[in-house]
Amino acid sequence: FDEKLIHSSEIKMETAALLDSILGKLEDEIRKSLEYNPPDGLAKKDITGEAHKLTVEFLGSLPRVREILQTDVEAAFNGDPAAASKEEVLVSYPFVEAIAVQRLAHELYLKNVALIPRIMSEWAHARTGMDLHPGAKIGSHFFVDHCTGTVVGETAIIGNHVKMYHGVTLGAKSTAGGQKLRGKRRHPTIEDHVTIYPGATILGGETIIGAGSTIGGNVFIMDSVQPNSLVIYDGLDMRVLSKLDKNIALDFQI
Amino acid sequence: FDEKLIHSSEIKMETAALLDSILGKLEDEIRKSLEYNPPDGLAKKDITGEAHKLTVEFLGSLPRVREILQTDVEAAFNGDPAAASKEEVLVSYPFVEAIAVQRLAHELYLKNVALIPRIMSEWAHARTGMDLHPGAKIGSHFFVDHCTGTVVGETAIIGNHVKMYHGVTLGAKSTAGGQKLRGKRRHPTIEDHVTIYPGATILGGETIIGAGSTIGGNVFIMDSVQPNSLVIYDGLDMRVLSKLDKNIALDFQI
Amino acid sequence: FDEKLIHSSEIKMETAALLDSILGKLEDEIRKSLEYNPPDGLAKKDITGEAHKLTVEFLGSLPRVREILQTDVEAAFNGDPAAASKEEVLVSYPFVEAIAVQRLAHELYLKNVALIPRIMSEWAHARTGMDLHPGAKIGSHFFVDHCTGTVVGETAIIGNHVKMYHGVTLGAKSTAGGQKLRGKRRHPTIEDHVTIYPGATILGGETIIGAGSTIGGNVFIMDSVQPNSLVIYDGLDMRVLSKLDKNIALDFQI
């Protein structure tokens, strides 16, 4: 990916130099964000110091974020028969990019830094088609295959070892209240070891998907389900007709 | 976003210079488009003049487009509890980019400029995952949250204060007729103050969703609904099984 | 698209020069891929020669790939009433980019080149929102309208004249087996002249959608259907309520 060839003995030094240059820029952006929307009780003269403090704290969180990201890559490789190697996961899976950005943006979100976390998550959203809000709390060994169209809302809580597919929505029941709902719990809780198939929509801040459950494709849920549940459509409402039957062919077209 | 620092007193002049350079390029592209596909009755020698006229008319539409875009930003902020500020909406919401491009492309579409409107809308589609055809007529105070996978067809008509989510399709019933259907009304009408939840699919040129209605998630509709309707799945066709019941666990796997 | 103006008499020479420079780079990447994951029985000293051989074979496949891509563009134009011209399809349809990359990546996949095919397909996935695995076997005259969210798995087989929409999943039934399932048939077979509407999910390696069938929007299928079937939701499970009825309005909100 990088144009410059570096010897393995130089990796540490190169990484340190790169990190240093990035953190300088980040501190600058955090300072601008604090100026735009100063936290309660922060005097204007203290903004520069606060920006430096937040940046150093963010730096301190990197080893922890890196560790949990390794569990995500592991989950992706173990959970996808199409993955030929962990290297393939790292260099080609959009999920890796999306979850890395979310976990970093989440650190800034927790410190009430304005604008930057959402700019980060929308950058990843544009590249991967998956919209993981920086506010969502996501456990270890997370994996979303294919990613496109999956949306995880601001107040969602996701346990460990959760596997999801594309087109999954962890959303709010009603947002008609608009800004009045801000800060309230609006999105579901997904407990440990849950699998959610493509196109499933799960809504509501009081909705809990119990540990070990499997949610089938295209299912629409607004209520909690017990641990170890399997939720699927019966197909009772689906009709299979023969196009060769002329009466039917005339009545139906999609 | 811009590398160059400018003083607020220079904004007007800088904007004028920027606009001037863009319009020159646009006029060039419109001229090429007219050469590629000349409108009926336009002589070859008149193409340059026509391109200039269309470009000036497009320039004239900008204040009107800007005004309606402000109602969209307002709708986004008011309709999304996760939005911390209008600035956050402006700098991070993919919807703002998608609707701005659609409204501008729509102006060129109305003047029968070939290729350019679709190139514009596909540029936005690639960035936001939302495919708003330049032909669609969209009212004020429009908002689509998350955007990914939402598709609005060429002949769709959307009223004022309509709120939609990701994965919503306003599509055609049958396109088996292919090019024979070109120019005919194929996509639905959504009246004022309608909300459409994620994954809903609404098809057909004669389908009208009455004002004030709410269409639930993952719903599939091919017929009109009265104003103030609430359309949802009952969940009657959904089965919740316990994985701990061994007989069931053996029969079902998703 | 290209900055350089070239005379039509120069196209052949320019194309040859461009191709030559690209193939040099590709050969380099293939060599690195072989070094990373050498096929059984390939000695280290033979890697450079093998990389050259694979690159030349890939070059040899281009006319065949080009020919089948022309059937795809034809299918797109004939199948979409919104398409104003084949040129519009070529310059603006994300499908053209996605299928071109898949068909090229498929050639490398068949030769067991590691990493590169998946990097190619994820590049297209990021741009178009459609995830076509390089392993999928796709017939002629293929068309996917809108593309966003459509996923076609590694072992899927798609016949000729198949038309699909956005949000369609050709996926695996259960991937709980993870890496143990690698190499096994996990994704469905779609026979000739099948149309699949938006949001449909079709799962399983033994699932066959018979020739000439139409699969309706948002349908979820895990079993085979006979040729010439029409599979749709009845809407029996859908409830349309009036918001003006106060009892209902109080009980339901989405």
Helix (H) or strand (E) holding A78: helix A47-79
What does residue B195 show for φ and ψ, rounded to 5 degrees? -115, 130
In angstroms, the separation between the Cα of residue A201 and the nearest Cα of chain B is 7
- C-alpha span between C9 and C12 (Å, rounded): 7
Confidence class for position A250, pLDDT limits 50, 70, 90: very low
CA C149-C154-C158 angle, to 5 degrees, is 80
Nearest CA among C71, C221, C212 for reference residue C139: C71
Residue C254 has pLDDT above 50, yes or no: no
Out of A71-75, A242-246, C192-196, pick the least confident: A242-246
Regarding predicted confidence, which is higher, A211 or C183?
A211
Nearest CA among C156, C135, C157, C148 for reference residue C97: C148
**Residue listed under structure tokens 């995880």:** A152
Regarding predicted confidence, which is higher, B183 or C117?
C117
In angstroms, the separation between the Cα of residue B80 and the nearest Cα of chain C is 15
Mean pLDDT rounded to a whole number for chain B: 89
Mean pLDDT rounded to a whole number for chain A: 90
Alpha-carbon distance values, B97 to B92, B135, B143, B149, B198 (Å): 9, 17, 12, 15, 20
Q: In the prediction, which pLDDT does C190 show?
A: 98
Contacts with C129 from chain A: Cβ below 8 Å: 129, 148-149
SS (HEC) of chain C: CCCCCCCHHHHHHHHHHHHHHHHHHHHHHHHHHHHHCCCCCCCHHHHHHHHHHHHHHHHHHHHHHHHHHHHHHHHHHHHCCCCCCHHHHHHHCHHHHHHHHHHHHHHHHHCCCCCHHHHHHHHHHHHHCCEECCCCEECCCCEECCCCCCEECCCCEECCCCEECCCCEEECCCCCCHHHHCCCCCCCEECCCCEECCCCEEECCCCEECCCCEECCCCEECCCECCCEEEEECCCCEEEEECCCHHHHHHCCC
Q: In the prediction, which pLDDT does C3 show?
A: 58
Q: In the prediction, which pLDDT does A1 show?
A: 45
Q: Which class for A6: exposed (0-12), middle (13-18), buried (19 or more C-beta within 10 A)?
A: exposed
CA A128-C205-C198 angle, to 5 degrees, is 45
- C-alpha span between B232 and B237 (Å, rounded): 12
Alpha-carbon distance values, C234 to A4, A250, B236 (Å): 60, 16, 13
Residue C1 has pLDDT above 60, yes or no: no
CB–CB of A201 and B203 under 8 A?
Answer: no
Q: In the prediction, which pLDDT does C253 show?
A: 46
| Domain C136-254 CATH (choose: 3.40.50.970, 1.10.1370.40, 2.160.10.10, 3.40.50.2000) | 2.160.10.10
Which A residues 122-151 touch C at CB under 8 Å? 127-129, 145-146, 148-149
Contacts with C122 from chain A: Cβ below 8 Å: 92-94
Does C197 touch chain A if contact means CB atoms closer than 8 Å?
A: yes
Fold classified for A1-130: serine acetyltransferase, domain 1 (1.10.3130)
- What confidence tens digit (pLDDT) does each residue in A170-209 have? 999 876 677 777 778 999 999 999 999 999 999 999 999 9
In angstroms, the separation between the Cα of residue B204 and the nearest Cα of chain A is 9
Strands in B131-132's sheet, in edge-to-edge order, are B131-132, B151-152, B169-171, B201-203, B220-221
- What confidence tens digit (pLDDT) does each residue in C209-227 have? 999 999 988 888 999 999 9
- C-alpha span between C104 and C132 (Å, rounded): 12
Quick one: average pLDDT of C130-136?
A: 97
C196: left (phi over 0), alpha (psi -120 to 50) or beta: beta
Quick one: average pLDDT of C168-184?
A: 82
Does C153 touch chain A if contact means CB atoms closer than 8 Å?
A: yes
Cβ A219 vs Cβ A232: under 8 Å: yes
In angstroms, the separation between the Cα of residue C18 and the nearest Cα of chain B is 25
What does residue B94 show for φ and ψ, rounded to 5 degrees? -60, -25
- What confidence tens digit (pLDDT) does each residue in B55-92 have? 999 999 999 999 999 999 999 999 888 888 999 999 99
Regarding predicted confidence, which is higher, C13 or C9?
C13
Confidence class for position A249, pLDDT limits 50, 70, 90: very low
Quick one: average pLDDT of B188-192?
A: 98
Mean pLDDT rounded to a whole number for chain C: 90
CB–CB of C169 and A127 under 8 A?
Answer: no
Cβ C141 vs Cβ C71: under 8 Å: yes
Contacts with C214 from chain A: Cβ below 8 Å: 243, 254
**Residue listed under structure tokens 């995830």:** C131
Give me the residue spans of the domains in chain A.
Answer: 1-130, 136-254
Q: In this structure, which amino acid lies at residue C113? A: V
CB–CB of C201 and A197 under 8 A?
Answer: yes
C neighbour chains, 3+ CB pairs within 8 Å: A, B
The residues near B70 (Cβ < 8 Å, ≥ 6 apart) are: none
CB–CB of A216 and B81 under 8 A?
Answer: no
Residue B246 has pLDDT above 70, yes or no: no
Quick one: average pLDDT of A98-111?
A: 97
Contacts with A214 from chain B: Cβ below 8 Å: 243, 254
Q: In the prediction, which pLDDT does A210 show?
A: 96
Cβ B193 vs Cβ B212: under 8 Å: yes
Out of B11-15, B140-144, C214-218, pick the least confident: B11-15
CB–CB of A177 and B217 under 8 A?
Answer: no
Nearest CA among C215, A230, A205, A173 for reference residue B238: A230
Which A residues 225-254 touch C at CB under 8 Å? 233, 235-244, 248-249, 252, 254
- C-alpha span between C69 and C82 (Å, rounded): 20
Which B residues 1-30 touch A at CB under 8 Å? none
Contacts with B232 from chain C: Cβ below 8 Å: 238-239, 241, 252, 254
CB–CB of A84 and C233 under 8 A?
Answer: no
- C-alpha span between C133 and C109 (Å, rounded): 10
Cβ B185 vs Cβ B179: under 8 Å: no
Q: Which two tokens stand for residue C74?
A: 């034809």
Task: State the best of A101, A151, A168 to mutate against chain B, taking most chain B CBs within 10 Å.
Answer: A151
Give the single-character DSSP code of A8. G
Contacts with A163 from chain B: Cβ below 8 Å: none
Contacts with B130 from chain C: Cβ below 8 Å: 148
Pairing between strand C201-203 and C214-215? unpaired
- C-alpha span between C137 and C133 (Å, rounded): 9
Residue C39 has pLDDT above 60, yes or no: yes
CB–CB of C78 and B203 under 8 A?
Answer: no
Nearest CA among A81, A83, A128 for reference residue A102: A128
- Rank C10-24, C40-54, C95-109 by mean pLDDT and report only the highest: C95-109
Does B198 touch chain C if contact means CB atoms closer than 8 Å?
A: no
CB–CB of C78 and B236 under 8 A?
Answer: no
Contacts with A166 from chain C: Cβ below 8 Å: 131, 149, 151, 169
Nearest Cβ partner for A239 among C176, C182, C234: C234
CB–CB of C254 and A222 under 8 A?
Answer: yes
SS3 B252: coil
Strand partners, C220: C201
B neighbour chains, 3+ CB pairs within 8 Å: A, C
CB–CB of C243 and B125 under 8 A?
Answer: no
Strand partners, C230: A241, C214
Q: In the prediction, which pLDDT does C251 show?
A: 44
CB–CB of A184 and B241 under 8 A?
Answer: no
Alpha-carbon distance values, A125 to A101, A121, B140, B242 (Å): 10, 6, 26, 35
How far the first Cα of chain B sits from its last, in Å, is 46
Q: Which two tokens stand for residue A31?
A: 């300072």
Q: In the prediction, which pLDDT does A251 show?
A: 44
Quick one: average pLDDT of B108-135?
A: 95
SS3 B196: strand
- C-alpha span between B122 and B129 (Å, rounded): 9
Comparing alpha-carbon positions, the chain B residue that sits nearest to A253 is B174
Residue C230 has pLDDT above 80, yes or no: yes
Does C79 touch chain A if contact means CB atoms closer than 8 Å?
A: no
Residue B248 has pLDDT above 70, yes or no: no
Confidence class for position C38, pLDDT limits 50, 70, 90: confident
Please give the ipTM for the structure prediction.
0.89
Nearest Cβ partner for B80 among A130, A175, A236: A175
Contacts with C162 from chain B: Cβ below 8 Å: none
Q: In the prediction, which pLDDT does C248 show?
A: 54
Nearest CA among A142, A159, A138, A154 for reference residue A211: A159
Does A198 touch chain B if contact means CB atoms closer than 8 Å?
A: no
The residues near B113 (Cβ < 8 Å, ≥ 6 apart) are: B30, B33, B34, B54
In angstroms, the separation between the Cα of residue A115 and the nearest Cα of chain B is 6
Q: In the prediction, which pLDDT does B1 show?
A: 44
For the packed helices A116-128 and A11-36, what is the interaxial angle rounded to 10 degrees? 120
- What confidence tens digit (pLDDT) does each residue in A25-52 have? 999 999 999 999 888 888 889 999 999 9
Residue C47 has pLDDT above 50, yes or no: yes
Comparing alpha-carbon positions, the chain C residue that sits nearest to A149 is C149
Question: For chain B, what is the total number of helices (H) and then of strands (E)?
Answer: 6, 15
Nearest Cβ partner for C229 among A149, A235, A241: A241
Cβ C121 vs Cβ C131: under 8 Å: yes
Contacts with A197 from chain C: Cβ below 8 Å: 201
Comparing alpha-carbon positions, the chain C residue that sits nearest to A223 is C254
Pairing between strand B169-171 and B201-203? parallel
SS (HEC) of C94-108: HHHHHHHHHHHHHHH
Q: In this structure, which amino acid lies at residue C195? A: T
- C-alpha span between B136 and A59 (Å, rounded): 47
The CB-based long-range contact list for A24-29 (8 Å cut-off, 24+ gap) reads: A26/A55, A26/A58, A27/A51, A27/A52, A27/A55, A29/A116
The residues near B134 (Cβ < 8 Å, ≥ 6 apart) are: B102, B105, B106, B108, B109, B117, B118, B120, B121, B154
Cβ B138 vs Cβ B121: under 8 Å: no
CB–CB of A241 and C234 under 8 A?
Answer: no
